[in-house]
Amino acid sequence: MATFTPTLASFSLVGKTAVITGGARGLGLAMSKALALSGANLAIVDLNKDEAAKQAKTISSIFQQKHPNQQVPKVTAHYADVSSKSDVDTSISEVLAEHAKITNLITCAGFCENRDAISFPSHRVKRMLGVNVEGTYYYATGIAKHMIDQQIAGNMVFIGSISGSIVNVPQRQALYNASKAAVRHLAASLAVEWASHGIRVNCLSPGYMLTKIAMQENPGLKAEWESKIPLKKMGAPEELMGTVAFLSSDASAYITGQEIRVDGGYTVC
């Protein structure tokens, strides 16, 4: 006999359709899995559409294995350079051509560069702000327009970073820190602006996470970081799954404009 684990119905994402940017790799992929496994239809937007399509199939297969008697959520793949408003607008139109509506947005597309501020090239300044800040803004406003026009009580989760609240040591990443501070405050500002439309906006800020990119760029810092984390370990991408599912669900219905840090207690000290 199958074991039944009672769960509050408000945690379910069945009937919702989420767009996630940067959802084909790293932290974004873990979040994509969390959304679909919670029952949401999903549109994965990524610079690498082939990888997004591959992961869409994989996620559907995982759902089918875990829930063989349940309808598999519709998971689709889409391309966009999130710093390009025309790409963003096109991708939203393509998502709506395959899904009847959009109820949720998770903006995970972003990147970090460790470089001293004085030597940071101007074209890279524009690229980082374009992806981390403008991309979040373009998707949020584009999808909010859809939600407002269709009178959808929507939900958005911007992926920030503890770097938006503290200054990381010893890596030099002033511009990245500033971009994530902008994401955090953008979430709070839009939460207030769109509250009357029933659109909630929150910010999920990961701490030091065990991603391939983080380990490649800072291979010698793992021990130093973990020595300063109260839980004494870096986070696995899977440890973000519960938080993004909670913030995306009706279980968090009275939470908006907030930042939730998933950092093992790092920023408490």
**Which residues are known to be catalytic?**
161, 176, 180
Among 225, 205, 206, smallest CA distance to 215 is for 225
Dist. CA 37–CA 206, nearest whole Å: 21
Name the DSSP letter for residue 32. Answer: H
Name the DSSP letter for residue 74. Answer: P
Name the DSSP letter for residue 209. Answer: B
C-alpha distances in Å from residue 194, one per residue of 105, 143, 182, 205: 14, 12, 18, 21
**In the Cβ-directed half-sphere of 28, how many Cα atoms lie within 13 Å?**
28
Dist. CA 31–CA 28, nearest whole Å: 5
With beta carbons less than 8 A apart as the criterion, state whether 37 and 62 touch: yes
159, exposed or middle or buried, with CB in 10 Å at 0-12, 13-18, 19+?
Answer: buried
What lies within 8 Å, CB to CB, of 252 at 6+ separation is 200, 202, 246
With beta carbons less than 8 A apart as the criterion, state whether 234 and 225 touch: yes
Q: Which residue has the tokens 């004494």?
A: 232
Phi, psi of 107 (to 5 degrees): -100, 95
Per the structure block, which two tokens stand in for 158? 């911007």
